[in-house]
Amino acid sequence: MAINYKETIREVKKSLSRDLSKVKTADDLEQINIKYLGRQGEVNLLFKTLPIKDDSNIGKAINELKDYCKQEITSRLNILLEIKSDPIFDVTVPGIQPPKGSLHLITHAINEIESIFSQLGFVRRRYPEVETDWYYAEGLNIPKGHPARDDQETFYLSKEIVLTAHTSNGQLREMEKVKNPPIKMVNIGKTYRRQADTSHSAMFHQFEGLLIDKNINITHLIGVMDYFAKAYFGNDREIRLRPHHFQFTEPSFEIDISCGLCHGKGIIEKLPCKFCKSGWLELGGSGMVHPNVLKNGGIDPKIFSGFAFGWGVERVLMMKSGLNLPDLRLLYTDDLRFLKQF
């Protein structure tokens, strides 16, 4: 006797309709989905119970039934979602504020430093942090074997490739790029040294300034340094130059700034200032660009002169904000308990 597969399919549709009419939750609907469309569901069982090999129309009808079940279940799900979202949502209820991020302290400092020097016409540059020995040392008047290399605590990747311990490599690269002065640039980037303790990090940031033109002298250096100190730290701050030695500048100076806590006196209420102890704080190195460096950069030292300076971003940041960190490396952590303070 022939099996009436059409009647069987109609019974499945009626059964699905009855089940869907009782649905109240998404969980209920999921159980119905499993009952009819699961691997052992009623629709898939029809492929085993009906003689699909004897009549190709039976397989086609079962597939159409499967599509029908999917549409009915999806339609019922959409109705449930509308019922759930419609009367409950109250637009007057305050929402949950998403967490808001912010720029890091060091990024803020870099942006401010760049802005200050841009007002003097300095152009922001960023040069390689993985560098050849020529740009890193030899071209800066520090030949191989020179004692000045000992102070750098350099990471050598090979005999000729290093991680830069200073941003002064940007001097030579800027000279080669511009070729014809004037040159006014500030190179801001990461630097690396073999040092790691509470007051030092193996990676830190520096900004390197370079100005080259005709008739540039120390008074121009003092003017730019004084402008930066007052713009970044405040109009009440003073600077001073101390003679020093850097192989790539001649003459060379350390730049100090008056302490913002004791106002350069070194004493607070008859006690030594805990921040500076002397009234002055060291900013960093500077000096007039050495003639050999100018030559190596393709600049005629008989026509042009210039000055350079290189300071730590973290140093000026901590000096400005008065941060007294127990460990400098806290600046590089992702600990929100620390970062949220700022």
Banded pLDDT at 321 (limits 50, 70, 90): low
Encode pLDDT of 186-196 as tens digits.
Answer: 999 999 988 77
- List, in sequence order, the alpha helices (H) in 22-55: 26-37, 42-49
Q: Which 3 state secondary structure label does DSSP give 231?
A: helix
Has residue 330 got a pLDDT over 90? no
**Per-residue pLDDT at 89:** 63
Q: Which 3 state secondary structure label does DSSP give 269?
A: coil
More confident residue, 326 or 283: 283
User: Backbone dihedral region of 145: left (phi > 0), alpha (psi from -120 to 50 degrees) or beta?
Assistant: left
Rounded Cα distance between 67 and 49, Å, is 19
Helix axes 105-118, 218-233, angle to 10 degrees: 130
**Per-residue pLDDT at 212:** 97
Cα of first residue to Cα of last residue in the chain, in angstroms, is 85
Greatest mean pLDDT among 42-51, 134-143, 331-340: 134-143
Banded pLDDT at 1 (limits 50, 70, 90): very low
More confident residue, 275 or 302: 302
Greatest mean pLDDT among 252-261, 294-303, 316-325: 294-303
Has residue 243 got a pLDDT over 90? yes
Has residue 175 got a pLDDT over 50? yes
Banded pLDDT at 244 (limits 50, 70, 90): very high
More confident residue, 260 or 88: 260
Task: Give one DSSP letter per residue of 177-200, joined into a string.
Answer: HH-SS-EEEEEEEEEE-S--BTTB
Encode pLDDT of 100-136 as tens digits.
Answer: 888 888 999 999 999 999 999 999 999 999 999 999 9
Superfamily of the domain at 105-339 = Bira Bifunctional Protein; Domain 2 (3.30.930.10)
- Looking at 209-213, 230-234, 266-270, which range is the least confident one? 266-270
Rounded Cα distance between 83 and 99, Å, is 31
**Per-residue pLDDT at 198:** 66
* pLDDT, averaged across the chain: 87
pTM attached to this predicted model = 0.68
Has residue 327 got a pLDDT over 80? no
Domain ranges of the chain: 5-85, 105-339
